[in-house]
Amino acid sequence: MAEALAEGAVRTSLVEGVEVLRVTSRGEELVICSAQGHLFEVADPFDDRGVYPVFDIEWFPSGMVGREDAGAARRIGAVRRLALGAAKFINACDLDVEGEAIGSNILRYACGGKQEGALRARFSSLTKSDLVAAFATAEEQAAQGRAGRARHFVDFVWGVNLSRALSQATVGAGGPYVTISMGRVQGPALAFIAKRETEIRNFVPTQFFAVAGTFEGNGVSFGANYSEEKMKTRAAAEDVRSDCLGKEGVVTKVSRVELHVPPPPPFSTGDLQKEAYRYRGYTPVLTLRTAERLYLKALISYPRTASQRLPASIDFSRILKELGSVGSYSHAVAEVLRRGLRPAQGKGTDAAHPAIYPTGERPTARLSGPEAVIFDLIAKRFIATFGEPESKEVVTAELSVGRHVFLVRTERTLRRGWSTIFGRAGTVKAVTPISKGDRYEVVAVDVRGALERGPLRYNQASFLEKMEKENIGTKSTRADTIATLFSRGYIEGREIRITALGSAVVEAVEKYAPAVLSTDLTRRFEEGIESLNRAQTRGSELMRETAREVARQVLVMGADEIAIGSHISSAATAAPGGPMRLGPCPTCKSGELSVVRSRKTGKRFVVCSRYSSGCRTSAPLPQRGTIRLASSACNRCGWPVVAVSGWRNPWRLCVNPLCPSKRQGGDRRPPTEAGYRSSARRVA
């Protein structure tokens, strides 16, 4: 950005240890500092995750939320110093709701309330021409900042309260503490998977029979399917076979249709994610992160967009000529440059950004494997939008064998067009010359039994498509929502299946608080955020409505907390990432020892399942390495033994901190595991 705007040298300095760039541009001195993401995040003031409902939330420096982040604190300090005496402020973060929130919060909290009156630089690529134009035309724009802040509030209030309610319900029902997350978009999305799984399980396939004939005559041989595609009984199918075998078929009807296939529109975010998954198996999250890196290298336009349209203001000719200088695109570019440059346009629109397109800039360094793949997809799709339509001829004929009718369908490509850019064009092939009145001998009739095909499971591309169709989430958040469902252990597999934990969560919520899974409710709040984006409503109204609705759902859950928790707890214990069971408690004899993590510190330890009922059996564990239950108990005290890997030398550990073997050096452990030994002595 500095290099694009500078009218002379770019001067670099450090403020609070943060790189700051200074340039002279249009007679002014610009001081440019990078935020590198959210410097302020929304959170509640309670350290105890058992506290809910919470509505008294604030924006805090990101270093105070979750892990300590010294880098964020330094950047906030740098911005505060730089803001002193500044004549004006320009938000040049990414032009979307998140970028507005990042910039608005920095102006509000780090710059002393400068969010009102600050200017907004609007650009869709990091090329010099786009950046110069964006700063020259920067204007005040506050609505999206309000919308971005409101989205964080709405999503946090939904997520933190519902997640804590479900997690505490599990503990209250006697189960272990496991984070059961639930969010405004996460709930309906998980419900889609659960509903599809129910459809698959309830589907009862019925058998049908298909009949196909082989015809010969006029020097050709071809196959044709019986007009009744699915016959209910084998007897009926065999009757067709016996009636037709050895007979003669007459062509009674021929129809020819020429189809025109237009070029595809340019990529939106969702289109790119789906194509990358189908073409290379890339997850939506990987695709979006890779595209963001290409954007930061100024190779493509902003990748978070719902648009499938390219405005005429883009210099198509220049971009195509630059792409044409690359050998793999040269032939395709030469073809499209011979035509008028009118790109195919889709229906999707986006107020902030056009569809994704290559900028024509050349990489300054070698692209990584995923970067090269995603750039290639974007470049070819961009070129293809200027390609010629394709045309193909489809011929359908009816052959009558007595009272039975067979259908033959053939197609051929008449004119290659845009698909040659992808190397997937159809071939111009000979078609069986069938004319009305032609006669062909029936030389074979096959009867094949099959079962009706049930509903298909979603993959990540079709799941993303479902979320788009139902209009839940945004182009920026849908991929993260899918990734979260996987990481929580709610769904699994390439063909997505819901896990026992995911099913238990959906069943419990659906029974006692069904509104949480409602797409209508999610869309209602999404529309409220969008109306803020258009400056049609006030944020305070949306926040009050959010608080009322969340309070209503938390109260509903609280009324049936034990029932909800009981339904989830057994599945949570067995879920991946759930507590590891070690066996019966040697102290109380009725509980069970499990490996759990503290909800406050995040550290893992061993505890009895009857801890809340009075059994105080617990023991520390090493915090590094992978733990699994060993095949045999300790031969000195009878307590469970775990195997710890991930160190240079794997080792075995009796979890009993008072085991006689520990006093005699009987356990094999790395000498660096002093922290565990001292912790064990404290427990003793």
Residues with a known catalytic role: 302
User: Using the 8-state DSSP alphabet, how is residue 67 labeled?
Assistant: S
Work out the number of other CB atoms within 10 angstroms of the CB of residue 514.
14
User: Using the 8-state DSSP alphabet, how is residue 356 labeled?
Assistant: B
Q: How far apart are the first and last CA of the chain?
A: 60
> Where do we find the tokens 């890779």?
290
What is the C-alpha separation between 135 and 511, in angstroms, rounded?
Answer: 54
Backbone angles phi, psi at 483, to 5 degrees: -60, -40
Contacts 24+ apart (CB under 8 A), 550-556: 550/53, 550/55, 550/157, 550/158, 550/161, 550/162, 551/53, 551/55, 552/515, 553/161, 553/162, 553/513, 553/515, 553/516, 554/52, 554/53, 554/161, 554/162, 554/165, 556/512, 556/513
Three-class DSSP category at 522: helix
What is the C-alpha separation between 185 and 98, in angstroms, rounded?
Answer: 17
User: What count of residues does the chain have?
Assistant: 684
Give the full edge-to-edge strand order of the sheet including 139-140.
90-91, 119-120, 139-140
What is the C-alpha separation between 180 and 49, in angstroms, rounded?
Answer: 12
Work out the number of other CB atoms within 10 angstroms of the CB of residue 603.
12
CB-based burial of residue 640 (10 Å sphere; 0-12 exposed, 13-18 middle, 19+ buried)? buried
What is the C-alpha separation between 524 and 472, in angstroms, rounded?
Answer: 10
